[in-house]
Amino acid sequence: MAMDAASDIVVDVRGVVNRFGRQLVHDGLDMQVRRGEVFGILGGSGSGKSVLLRTILGLRRPEAGQVLVEGTDMTRLSGEALRAAKARYGVTFQHGALFTSLTVRENIQLPMIEHLRLPKDALDELAHLKLRLVGLPDDAAEKYPSQLSGGMVKRVALARALALDPHLLFLDEPTSGLNPISAAAFDDLIAYLQQELTLTVVMITHDLDTIFRICERVGVIVDRRMVQDTRANIVQHPHPWIQSYFHGTRAERFGAAGVTHGA
C-alpha cells in the first residue's frame, strides 16, 4: 500500500529553502500533489508563490531541499536533461507570455518545433487541433496577440501549454485580469480538460471562485512553509492569514466559507 501511495504523488517538494540575499522566502517547505487532482497554491503577497513554481519547474535551484516531478529531481538537472524534463509538463504564466511578433499558430507551435520533428503541414494541423481544444476558432490562428482579448490570450497560452500532450499542467494565476464571466468560463475549461485529458493540474491562484469551483486540495504558503489539505478542511485551519482569507467579507457569498460551494 505504501508503494502505491508513493507512486500516486506526481509532484513532491521536500524541505525546500529559497533565499534572496538576507530575505528568507521558503524555510523547509513541503508540498505533495497527487495524480489526477487539481491543486491550488495560495499565499499572501511576497509569500513566494511564483518562486515556488519556478523552483518546481527547474527554472530556479533552491538552496536546500528536493523537488521530484514524476520521480525526477528537478533540482539536479541541467542542460539537455532539464530540457527533456520540461517536455513532460505544460505551463502558462500570469500574463500569457505570448511572443507578440509571432502569430497564434506560431506561438502554439514553439514547443512542437523544439521537441518534435514534424513537417510543416503536420505542425499546422496540430496547432489547429490545440486551438479547437481550448475553444477558439480556426481563424484565430493567423492573428497576433495584440488582436486578441484577454480571455483569448489565456486560451492561446493554454493551447501552447498542451502542445506536447502533457499529463501535468502548471498554471500561474490563470484567471487574473479576466472579468467574472470570462474567469468562470476559463475555470470550466480547465475542469473539462482535466477530466477529458486525465490531467494533473497545479495552479497558483488568489481567486476564491476558482478555488471553490475546481480545486480539490489547497496548499497555503504561510510563515515560509506550506499548510495543505482538502478544500473543505483548509478553511478550518486556525492560522490567522488562512482564517482572514477564507472567512473575510469576500468569502461571505459562498456560505460557510465555501465549504459546500460546488458540491
Residue 76: what pLDDT? 86
Residue 254: what pLDDT? 55
Mind listing the pLDDT tens digit for each residue in 221-240?
Answer: 999 999 999 999 999 999 99
Mind listing the pLDDT tens digit for each residue in 8-25?
Answer: 999 999 999 999 999 999
Mind listing the pLDDT tens digit for each residue in 87-99?
Answer: 889 999 877 689 9
Give the whole-angstrom CA distance, residue 155 versus residue 96.
9
Using alpha carbons, select from 46, 73, 47 the residue that is nearest to residue 62.
73
Average pLDDT, the chain: 90
Using alpha carbons, select from 228, 196, 225, 227 the residue that is nearest to residue 215.
228
Give the whole-angstrom CA distance, residue 30 versus residue 14.
5
Question: How does residue 261 score in pLDDT terms, banded at 50, 70 and 90?
Answer: very low
Residue 1: what pLDDT? 36
Residue 38: what pLDDT? 97
3-state percent helix, strand, coil for the chain, nearest multiple of 5: 45, 25, 30
Mind listing the pLDDT tens digit for each residue in 113-139?
Answer: 988 889 999 999 999 999 999 999 999
Residue 79: what pLDDT? 84
| CA geometry: angle 14, 16, 20, nearest 5 deg | 175
| Mean pLDDT computed over 154-183 | 94
- Cell for 119? 513537417
Give the whole-angstrom CA distance, residue 1 versus residue 7.
10
Calculated CA dihedral for residues 112, 113, 116, 122, nearest 10 degrees = 70
How many helical (H) and strand (E) elements, i.e. helices and strands, does the chain have? 10, 10
Residue 7: what pLDDT? 67
Residue 5: what pLDDT? 53
Residue 3: what pLDDT? 40
Question: How does residue 44 score in pLDDT terms, banded at 50, 70 and 90?
Answer: very high
Residue 251: what pLDDT? 59
Answer yes or no: are the C-beta atoms of 17 and 65 closer than 8 Å: yes
Using alpha carbons, select from 95, 98, 41, 74 the residue that is nearest to residue 226.
41
Residue 257: what pLDDT? 45
pTM: 0.89
Using alpha carbons, select from 57, 96, 69 the residue that is nearest to residue 11.
69
Cβ burial 84-117 (10 Å sphere, 16+ → b, else e) = ebbeebbbbbeebebeeeebbbbbbbebbeeeee
Count CB atoms within 10 A of the CB of residue 153.
21
Domains by residue range for the chain, with CATH: 1-88+184-263 (3.40.50.300), 94-166 (no CATH)
pLDDT at 211 over 50: yes
